[in-house]
Amino acid sequence: MPPNAAPAHEEVFFVKDTIDAELPEQDGFESHLFTIGEYNKVVGEPFKLPHDPDSAAILIISTPNMFDVSFKRWFLMKCKELGSVEAVAENVSSPIQEFLEYRLEPLCRKFDALSVEYELLHDYSLWANRKPKILMQTCGHVSGAAFFYQPFQVGGEGWPPYLPKGKKKIDGLRVRFHRVAAAESRQDLLDSNLEHALRIPRPGRVPPRFCSHGIRLSF
């Protein structure tokens, strides 16, 4: 690493901050860090990513605001540009996909200008045999963005959910442990434990989140 270069963990968080600035929460986006190694540990062989396990990855997901705010804004722009809703339907075969590419293009230009080495994978990225290149739901779990409650954990007297081994409850929060944290060195970054506190929602009140894109970074 050059003498004046930032430590690896600072570069990772700089990239995450760049993503959050370009795709802010008010527009319906969230980003979550994890490592390729964490992902590869829990997926089958066909879905493992052929990258260094220490490589940082960032999951970008959408929230309801994406549809209510930024997608609606883009759609109205396209209607004005093409003249009518019918014209949009006729000329835009996949509105959501085109909208997301429209939002991600400026981000990719910034990364290119900053010489960031990255790979962008979408939830619709497929191999020739039609298998997905990445399992976004799994990225959601390993990054702490999502947690899947099993039937025995919820309902009736069993609420709040039973806590699986390795997790602990603190004042109504579920804490999950992951190896992504600010540290003095890249290895410390990977060896440290960061507590991700996730509020436990009541059944039926979980806001939908849609896993969309994964960005792999190399430093």
The model's pLDDT over 100-141, given as tens digits with 9 standing for 90+, comes to 999 999 999 999 999 988 999 998 899 999 999 999 989 999
The model's pLDDT over 39-64, given as tens digits with 9 standing for 90+, comes to 999 999 999 999 999 999 999 999 98
Q: What's the average model confidence in pLDDT over 186-190?
A: 37
**DSSP code at position 63:** -
Domain layout of the chain by residue ranges? 10-22+29-41+55-68+96-149+211-218, 69-95
The yes-or-no verdict on residue 37 having pLDDT over 70 is yes
The yes-or-no verdict on residue 75 having pLDDT over 90 is yes
pLDDT value of residue 219: 41
| Concatenated DSSP letters of 103-149 | HHHHHHHHHHHTT-EEEEEETT-B-TTS-BSS-HHHHHHHTTS----
H helix or E strand, kind and range, residue 177: strand 173-178
213/88: higher pLDDT: 88
The yes-or-no verdict on residue 145 having pLDDT over 80 is yes
